[in-house]
Structure 1
Amino acid sequence: MGTVDDLLAGLDPADRAPIERVYAVAQEVVPDAQQGLGYGMPALVYRGKPLVSVMRAKKHIGVYPFSPAAVEAVAATLASHPGIGLDKGTIRFQPEHPLPDDVVRALVLARKAQIDG
């Protein structure tokens, strides 16, 4: 797999916009994050550790913060949002129901705090 830019370039426009937005908000929150790989997936990497990856799956868009605790940090906020599913370490959504920016910020800040230790 290539970089985040490579991933975005290969996406259908309907999927690209919400995925690109998550990456943009994450980059605003952690401007030091760089494009790289996390567990073989294009991701933003912070201090040598994967911060967040967002990818199109067969039936949803998946957000992978590489941390069940980071997902738990935003789980209550997401309970009222339509079309969003949670699993241990993963948030799933549909392009027509993108993740709110405030949730992305909270998720990325939770993961950053873990990396900062």
Structure 2
Amino acid sequence: MAEHFASVDDYLGSFPGDVRTVLDRVRRTIHEAAPEGVGERISYGIPAVTLDRRNLVYFAGWKQHVSVYPVPEGDEAFQRDIQPYRSGKGTLKFPLDAPVPYELIARVVRHLVAERP
């Protein structure tokens, strides 16, 4: 990921069609789950959705998965639901060879919004 992208659209456009389709839906899911007025930018070389001009959630595409960062605390049921996708302390990886749980991504976003100071 040594490339620098001017916009989220440029970033998404760098992926092949099948991955791009998943990333477009992840992007849409995040925006639908977040409050009105969110923005987006490239931060650390990947898309970040912002709330009040502060990064709320990041998402990225890879060869075999898409990732969402960071991982909110949430309750016990939420932790149980995200466990199969955990990759390290702050990353959720969703394999591209399985259905992506978009509703779970929406829950991640809602938890991140609720946990903001």
TM-score range, shorter chain: 0.7 to 0.9
Contact 2:48 2:57 in 1 (8 A): yes
Tell me, yes or no, if structure 1 residue 3 matches structure 2 residue 4: no
Instruction: Using structure 2 for the length normalisation, give the TM-score.
Output: 0.77
Tell me, yes or no, if structure 1 residue 15 matches structure 2 residue 19: yes
The equivalent position to 1:55 in structure 2, one of 50, 56, 60, is 60
- How far 1:59 moved relative to its partner? 4.5
Contact 1:38 1:45 in 2 (8 A): no
- How far 1:39 moved relative to its partner? 3.8
Structure index of larger Rg: 2
The equivalent position to 1:76 in structure 2, one of 73, 80, 88, is 80
Contact 1:35 1:44 in 2 (8 A): yes
Separation in 1, partners of 2:99, 2:51: 24
Tell me, yes or no, if structure 1 residue 32 matches structure 2 residue 37: yes
Instruction: Using structure 1 for the length normalisation, give the TM-score.
Output: 0.77
The count of residues paired between Structure 1 and Structure 2 equals 109
Separation in 1, partners of 2:19, 2:62: 10
Contact 2:56 2:113 in 1 (8 A): yes
Q: Which runs of 5+ in 2 are unaligned?
A: none
